[in-house]
Copies of this chain bind each other. A is one copy, B any other.
Amino acid sequence: MVRVKLIVAYDGTNYCGWQIQDNGITIEEILNRELSNLLKEDIKVIGASRTDSGVHALGNVAVFDTETKIPPEKISFALNQRLPEDIRIQESCQVADDFHPRFCDTIKTYEYKIWNARFPNPIVRLYSKFVYYKIDMEKMQKAAEYLVGEHDFKSFCSTRTQVENTVRTVTEISFRREGDMIIMKICGTGFLYNMVRIIMGTLLKCGMGMYEPEYVKEILEACDRQKAGPKAEACGLTLVGIEYL
């Protein structure tokens, strides 16, 4: 038996997220099905990040055990032949038998893209959120500073989830502009349910002048989801990568 780690990229547009569920097709389901077909075993992957419906990934991580004689680093090529073109394995390799993609110390990096122009751009519409209003990147950056570090992010967590400990550490939030595209990069050791999208929705209100940057401190301290901004659309979000420490 070997344990194999996959780095998985996908366009989330046509999927109901990562995790298997009844009401639609998911990335996990496709990987289980095509790995089982390829390796002639019943394969069940364990994912590092259960991304939401419509969220994209360049570097999600999945792990599975197999008896196959195919060298682990060749599985990427063989599996890509079978996968739909909106899912592509970027790497496959053997890992320690006790490696678990979720119960390890990691830094996860996400990017959120905003097309900030007079009109939507059809070519980036599936991978960014369109915002017509002028956005002040400096205000967003200033507001973001209150969120960097170890905090109770309860205000930035969807109330649909029940997690006991809502303390998380955000190690970096930075913004850059590429033409009319504004890109937020956010890194941290862990994120609550919808946390990145609620942070983006909140910082965007700062960027549009609807919240003062200082108000983000108040939101954080309130530990109340009602205080924060709306959850930004899924399509703007991409899980860029997961670094195992």
Contact = CB atoms under 8 A, between A and B. Distances in A.
A245 B85 CA distance: 42
Contact of A122 (B76, B85, B118): B85
Interface in A10-59: 10-11, 56, 58
Interface stretch (A87-95, A98-106, A191-199): A87-95
A62 B89 CA distance: 41
Copies in the complex: 2
A51 B76 CA distance: 36
18 contacts: A9-B119, A9-B123, A11-B122, A11-B123, A11-B125, A56-B122, A58-B121, A76-B119, A80-B120, A85-B120, A86-B122, A86-B125, A87-B122, A88-B120, A88-B121, A90-B119, A123-B127, A123-B238
Contacts of A56: 122-123
A79 to B, nearest CB: 11
Contacts of A87: 122
Interface residues of A, number: 22
A242 B87 CA distance: 35
**Which of A89, A121, A122 has the most B CB atoms < 10 Å from its CB?**
A122
Interface string A227-240: 00000000000100
A123 B125 CA distance: 12
* Dominant secondary structure at the A interface: mixed
Which 10 residue pairs of A and B lie closest in terms of their CB atoms, listed nearest first? A11-B122, A86-B122, A88-B120, A88-B122, A90-B119, A10-B122, A88-B119, A11-B123, A9-B122, A56-B123
Interface of A: 9-11, 56, 58, 76, 80, 85-90, 118-123, 125, 127, 238
A123 B58 contact: yes
A141 B239 CA distance: 34
Given A9-B119, A9-B122, A80-B119, 17 more contacts: A9-B123, A10-B122, A11-B122, A11-B125, A58-B123, A76-B119, A85-B120, A85-B122, A85-B125, A86-B125, A88-B120, A88-B121, A88-B122, A89-B119, A90-B119, A123-B127, A123-B238
Contacts of A58: 121, 123
A228 B10 CA distance: 35
A6 to B, nearest CB: 11
